[in-house]
Structure 1
Amino acid sequence: MYAAIRIRGSVNTRSEIEDTLRMLRLNRVNHCVVVDENPHYKGMIQKVTSYIAWGEITSESLALILKNRGELTGRVKITDDYVAENTTYASIDELSEAVCSGKTILKNVPELRCVFRLHPPRKGHRGIKKTYTEGGALGYHGKEIVSLLKKMR
């Protein structure tokens, strides 16, 4: 599973980039989505890599995001009780392990909003004009996306 976080805004952005960000459901800055590792999503992510930070997510970090930022319709926080009542999983931790292993997807949880609204990172970004390899925040982070997600919890 990939986690994609929108870093840059939409001013002076080409329309095809803006459309791709909309298809990824990244409509605002500091929004995060979790997508499958398939060629379709990989191509969309590669197209907008100068506007997002992305990398592989672990089940522990997905559970952290779901507990802190997971919302249902109506801006209600998701709980272990809700997951136990409405899915076949007993807790958010079990759900995140199943999502990361590919057994289920987040859309199977009824009324779950698949976009996570994160805070700006504590201590700031390393720079939103440079890639991760150049010392900035954009582009492919690999497993280090977990540290950015923890800063934005």
Structure 2
Amino acid sequence: MAKAYLVVRMSGQINVPYWAKTTLQLLKLDKKFRATIIPAKENTLGMLDRIKHYISWQEVSADIAKELFSKKGRKEGYKKISNDDLTKLGFKSIDELASSISEGKLSMNKLKPIKPWFALAPPKRGFKRSTRKTYGEGGILGKNKDLIELVRKMI
């Protein structure tokens, strides 16, 4: 079983039922193309499966987590994360922070000055698959095995 999941919201805010809105807000995915890393727990897959028509997810590795924190990680005031912020949290480097997040030892909600989400851009050169179908039907939604490459295009 995975230790943590990278979750990206792929659809907008229009015509989303209230139960899906509350689940997306619990995951800190309020806007389109927001990403977060959540630790794998017993209720995590149920939440992801329930809102699979609005998000994509995949197991996260330490290298993509490091890339997200170094390029898209922000703190209060929407400023980049500095080494002083990492030492206040008890980490020596971004590598150590990324490995602890990807192993599921720490939740992004517990990192107080750091925002619990990453703001991504639309992918360079567009989507190669449908944005309205699940991965099994030829789209990008739901459990997506190609999400890491897609996120690299969105950074």
Task: Give TM-score, length-normalised by structure 2.
Answer: 0.90
Q: Which runs of 5+ in 1 are unaligned?
A: none
Matched residue, 1:21 = 24
Measured after TM superposition, the shift of residue 33 of structure 1 is 1.0
Q: Alpha carbon RMSD of aligned pairs, Å?
A: 1.5
Matched, 1:43 2:30: no
In structure 2, the CA distance between the partners of 1:139 and 1:94, relative to structure 1 (3 Å rule), is same
Residue of structure 2 in register with 1:120 after alignment: 122
Match of 2:108 in 1: 106
Relative to total residues, which structure has the larger strand share, 1 or 2? 2
Counterpart residue type for residue 17 of structure 1: A
C-alpha separation in 2, matches of 1:109 and 1:16: 27
Would the aligned equivalents of 1:63 and 1:93 in 2 still touch at CA under 8 Å? yes
**Partner in structure 1 of residue 134 of structure 2:** 131
State yes or no: 1:96 paired with 2:129. no
Q: Does 1:66 align with 2:69?
A: yes
Q: Partner of 1:152 in structure 2? A: 154
Tell me the TM-score normalized by structure 1. Answer: 0.91
State the 1:64 CA deviation: 0.3
Q: Which runs of 5+ in 2 are unaligned?
A: none
Q: Distance in 1 between matches of 2:99 and 2:32?
A: 27
Retained in 1: the 8 A contact 2:38–2:104? no
Instruction: Report the residue type matching 1:48 in the other structure.
Output: I
C-alpha separation between the residues in 1 aligned to 2:105 and 2:25?
26
Closer/same/farther in 2, CA of residues 19 and 108 from structure 1, 3 Å limit? closer
Percent identity, please: 28
